[in-house]
Amino acid sequence: MGDRIPQWDFPDNVLLAKEIAAYDIWEDTERTAVDLYRHFDIDMTHYIPGGIAEWNFPLVRYYNEADYIENDDTKPYLKAYKKETVKPYRSMYDTLDMHCSASFWGMAPTMAMKGYRFNSPEEVLAFNPLEKDHFTLAERTAFFQSYYKEKQELFGDSCLFMGWYYHTLFMWPVEIFGWENFMLAALTDPERFKEILDQFYAISKRDLTAMSAVEGLPLIGCHDDLCNANGPMFSPDWYREFIYDRYGELTSILHAAGKKALFVCDGNVVPLLDDVAATGFDGISVDGNSDLRAITGRFSGKIIVGGMNPAVLSGGTFDQIEHMVKKTVAAVKEEPGYFFQCPGMNGKTPLKNVEHYQRCIRKYGQRS
């Protein structure tokens, strides 16, 4: 138990960056990002809004290749991101010739797939992911070692740059196929789809094995959005048949390397808590759609992150922000592994709200 509740947040606010920086924030977006984290003394993160490539391994989307709306508002962003860059590696995104569009919420673009290469469930069921991925374990190990060494050196000892794997298993077909064709294919031919998931799993297993070899990387987040705001996207039985056993194998790999594994899921994950906890994760990160008291009840004594509503931060009053923080603290005050997190500290949020949120977590997050 520390003297205050630590923080894992993303201060990605352009107005704040301009206020604290005595330089052109667009000339070096990584420097700007690190200065934002240091400004609020953020304890841990997995993301720097800058650099040459989007952060969600392994389906990398390159900033300069995205389709942007180009107008006066976006000129500063295009100065930073719409320029030639060297690709550190070719991902499945490249081999499938996928494309994305971009919009700006903060220092870096938010990118989304612009159409998919699969037009029907039949095309999905004919796909073999391993045919589009040719990396060796040695290549991935070298890449992750270089990447995490570089990012941690940017922060020094001011913030832990943790490991992050966006496509643990469920997000692979979401990102590659799109929701509709993914769900139709999975229900049309479950046995064939299981073979496809086995191939995606093989890629994730290799990559997480490679990431677990990185020294000085104690925590690795495994992201899969199994839920939306209303609850699970598939039935719990489907997850039990196709997902959880593989999670258990991945957490065992990370534990064998001395790492802790954090499960990261947006939406209301409460209906799945018992099953997720049984797979061996050392903690969980959730958004404001999950009841935080239910989360602490099932993951007490482990790592717990978030549980706050970004809409309150971005559009609420000072009183509403303060009430949210106080309610959060009441639920987690006895949890040494809890981290404040409220996505929404971006360029669309009034700077006064960002600063008030920070005042509140400093005031109410004191434990002594």
What is the pLDDT confidence band of residue 148, given thresholds at 50, 70 and 90? very high
Q: Which of 79-83, 223-227, 286-290, 354-358 has the lowest average pLDDT?
A: 79-83
Q: In this predicted model, what pLDDT tens digit does every residue of 85-128 receive, in sequence order?
A: 777 677 888 889 888 888 888 887 888 888 888 999 999 999 99
Asked if 14 contacts 348 with a C-beta cutoff of 8 angstroms, the reply is no
Interior CA angle at 19 toward 85 and 46, to 5°? Answer: 50
- What is the residue extent of each domain of the chain? 14-60+120-364
Check residue 83 and give its pLDDT. 78
Cα–Cα distance measured from residue 114 to residue 61, given in angstroms and rounded to the nearest whole number: 11
Q: What are phi and psi of 152, to 5 degrees?
A: -70, -35
pTM of the entire predicted model: 0.95
Interior CA angle at 203 toward 199 and 206, to 5°? Answer: 135
Cα–Cα distance measured from residue 249 to residue 306, given in angstroms and rounded to the nearest whole number: 26
Check residue 278 and give its pLDDT. 98
Residues in the chain: 368
Q: Where are the alpha helices (DSSP H) in 137-268?
A: 137-155, 171-177, 179-188, 190-211, 236-242, 244-256
Nearest CA to 260 out of 228, 305, 292, 291 is that of: 305
Q: Where are the alpha helices (DSSP H) in 69-165?
A: 75-81, 92-95, 121-125, 137-155
DSSP tag of 334: T
Q: In this predicted model, what pLDDT tens digit does every residue of 225-277 receive, in sequence order?
A: 999 999 999 999 999 999 999 999 999 999 999 999 999 999 999 999 999 99
Asked if 317 contacts 74 with a C-beta cutoff of 8 angstroms, the reply is no
* Summary mean pLDDT of the chain: 92
Cα–Cα distance measured from residue 296 to residue 271, given in angstroms and rounded to the nearest whole number: 14
Helix (H, G, I), strand (E, B) or coil at 333: coil
3.50.50.60, 3.20.20.210, 3.30.465.10, 3.20.20.70: which CATH number matches 14-60+120-364? 3.20.20.210
What is the pLDDT confidence band of residue 313, given thresholds at 50, 70 and 90? very high
Check residue 303 and give its pLDDT. 98
Mean pLDDT, to the nearest integer, of 285-291? 97
Q: Which of 23-32, 211-220, 241-250 has the lowest average pLDDT?
A: 23-32
Helix (H, G, I), strand (E, B) or coil at 323: helix
Q: Which DSSP string corresponds to 267-299?
A: S--GGGHHHHHTTT-SEEEE-TTS-HHHHHHHH
Asked if 113 contacts 102 with a C-beta cutoff of 8 angstroms, the reply is no
Check residue 217 and give its pLDDT. 96
DSSP tag of 338: E
Check residue 72 and give its pLDDT. 85
